[in-house]
Structure 1
Amino acid sequence: MATFSSVTGQHVLQAIAEYDQRGGDAFLDVYGFGPTPGYALVHEGRTYDARALLAVAHRFATGRLATPEEFQSGGMDGVVTILRRRGFMVTEPAVALREAPGRASHTRTATPRATRTTRTTRSTAEVPPPICPTCSMTLPATGICDDCG
């Protein structure tokens, strides 16, 4: 099971550069991923397959590619959360709103969180503790989640 705590925004940018160099279809084919409809990372006006980018960013961070099967347990919600925490905008497909029985349902487009456009330097006191991207628990000083490994 892949943990993504070591993936930084720089690793994601490296994956984006490779995606641009190879082209979308070739990038997905090389790494064994199919397209993930509705979930796209948006960077500088271009869209990228969010799941495949995160897997390749994991390879840049750890030397090991996260496989498509490793995303089954966390699903796309985990991918979206991780990429947004790294400062990227990720779109999601329309979500059906639950209505009371007997009423018609409507759909809406999930609004992505705002992206950071500038980076600011934080003092040590302002830095939040590291969080495990898999289970959202605070990581110990070792940086390795006690629950997820």
Structure 2
Amino acid sequence: MNRRWSPLLTTKTYTVQEAMDILGMSKRDLVEASGLNCNTVKRILSNDPEEFNTRLETAILIAEALGLTIHEIKWPRDITRVGRPPHTGCPITTVTKTITITRVVEIKVPVCPTCRLELPLTGVCDTCS
């Protein structure tokens, strides 16, 4: 959801259901937009404080689907980092919104100008000298 065109006010906090009603989203729309399993969305929408706490990753997926931040939503339970990853209904290999960062560092190694072999720490080529 594009925050720029959202009818939701960012100065107010909403329950997930209130935000869905304002945006005209159904439960199915939220499931598709967030990528979460239908049962996970039902649990969040139940607003039952006796249920388990909402995991941070799940809260982020729902908030992004609504075009809000997690701080702009009234969560029925605490948000936690402990527990299983969000149940998306997808095999773990097809979960979206996962970023892998590979850092490649190029190290310049001194080489002998004659034989082009890597120089030892002494800086003198053992082959040519």
TM-score of the two chains, using structure 1 as the length reference: 0.24
Which one has a bigger Cα radius of gyration? 2
TM-score of the two chains, using structure 2 as the length reference: 0.26
Report the structure, 1 or 2, having the larger strand content.
1
